[in-house]
Chains A and B, each alone.
Chain A
Amino acid sequence: MKKTLFTTFAAALGLAAPLLLAQEIVVGEIVSMTGDKAGFGTEIHNATMMAVDDTNAAGGVLGKKIKLVSEDTQSKPGEPAAAVQKLISRDKVVAILGEYTSSLTLEAAPICQSAKVPLISPGATNPKVTEVGDYIFRVCFIDPFQGTVLSKFALETLKAKKAAVFTDIKQDYSIGLADFFKAHFAKNGGTIVVEKSYSSGDADFKAQLTAIKSANPDVIMIPGYYSQIGLIAKQARALGITVPLIGGDAWSDSQLVAIGGSAVDGSYFTDHFSAENPDPKVQALLKRYKEKFGKDAGSAAALGYDAAMVLFDSIKRAGTTDEPKLRDAIASTKGYQGISGVITLDEKRNANKPAVILQVKGKDFKYVTTVNP
C-alpha cells in the first residue's frame, strides 16, 4: 500500500523532474572568472562552454545532454576547496574540470581524490598535482619538461652562460618551474648568478630588478603570470636592463603585450600550442572562438576545450559515468587528437606532449620552434 502510494505520488508530482535529470550528465568546472588570473579563466570557461555546446549539438554522450555547473575560484587561495565540495555534494557532478593554475588545483585535488570524483586540469603543470592520487589528471605537459626546454633554449639558442631567476613565491607553478630550470641550467654549463622573488599582487619590482641588474646576467627567467610580467618587463627596461626575458606558459595571454608594450617585445616563452598551427581543425576552432567571443583564443582556450573533450570522450568509451569505470577510461586516453596536440595520458596521468617556443613580436606571439619530450 505504502509503495503504491509512493509511486502514485512520484508519478503525479515528480515525474517530469527525475526524467529530465536522467537526460543530463552533470559536469563541474572550477575556473577563475575573476581576480588577476581572470584572463585565463574567461578563455577556459568560454572554450569549455564551446566543447559542451558542440557535444550537445552532436547528440550529447550516452544519449544524454551535458550540463555544465561552473564555480568561480576568484584566482584566490581557499576558494577551490569550497567550490569542489559544493560541486560534489550539492550538484552531484560526475567529474570536475579545472583549475588552470597549479596552486588552486592542488587545493581541489585532495577533495576530489577522497570523494573519488575524477578531476582533469587543463593547465596545471606542477608535477605535484597528479601525484595527489589516481583520480587526478591533466591534459598538459609538466614543469620538469618545460623547465628543461627553457634551459636548453637559453643555453643553446640564446647562448646564455649566466642566468637570473625571478620567482613568484605565491605560486607553486612558479617555484617548481624555476627549480627545474635552475637544475638543468646549472648542470649543463650555465651559472645562476642571482635569484630574487616577488608575490602575486605586487606592482613594484624595482628593488629586485636593480639587484638583478648588478649581477649582470645574460638572460632573466621569470616564471610568473602574464598580469605581472608586463609590469616587470617595463620596470626592467626602464632600469636599463636589455638582456632577453624568458618565461613559461603562464605568459600566454594578450594582456602580456597590452600591459608590457614594447618592453616585452622580443621575449621568449614556452607554450602548449601555437595559434599558427596550420591544422584545419585548430584553425576552425580558433575562427569559431573569435566569431563567438570577439577575441583571439590562446593556449588556455585550446587546453580548456581539450580537457572537456577528453572527459566527454572518456564517458563515451566507459559507457557509464560510474566512477571506477570512468576513471579507468580517462586514464586510458590514448592518441586523442586535441586542439593543443595529441593527448596520451601516461601512467602518472600526465599528458606527454611537445612544447612550442614562442616569441613576442609586436602584438603577436610568433612560433619559433617545437621541442619534443
Chain B
Amino acid sequence: MKPRQQRMWFVAIIFSGIALATVLVLLSLGENMMYFYSPSQISKGEVPRDAVIRVGGLVVNDSVVHDDKNLGVRFKLTDTANTITVYYHGILPDLFREGQGIVAIGEIDAAGQMKANEVLAKHDENYMPPEVADALKTAAEGGSMPIPDSHTHK
C-alpha cells in the first residue's frame, strides 16, 4: 500500500473498532445500570416496580430476624427519616451488623418491601458507603429525623 492508502487503512480499522465498541456499550449499558434509592424515596413510592435497584442505609438495631430453617433473614433499613423492610436468602457478609451502613441490591415487591439478591457491607468497619452517607444527609436536611435505634430504647 502507498503511504496514503496505508493511513486510510489505519483510520478504517480504528473506526470499525470504535463503531463496534459504541454498539456494544449502547446495547449493554442501559439495561445493566442500577439506580440508587434511599429508604425515603422507596417509602414515597418513587421507585419503579420490577426494576433492580440499590438501596443504602443503616441497619436498625434489633431488627434482624433469622429464619433458621431456610436461611432467610429480614431486617429494617433506615435513612433516619424513613425505614423499609428488606428480606434476603443466604449468608450475610462478615461486616453486616446492626447500626452499620450497608447497600442492598434487589427489587421492591408489591408490599413495598425489598427482596434483596445481594447485600454488600464494606470491608472497613469505619467506612460508610458514600451513597449511604448522602442518603443520611439528605434525610437529615429533610427535617424529621428520629435516631436510627429509636425503635429499641429500652
Is B one of A's binding partners?
no
Chain A interfacial positions (CB closer than 8 Å to B)? none
Chain B interfacial positions (CB closer than 8 Å to A)? none
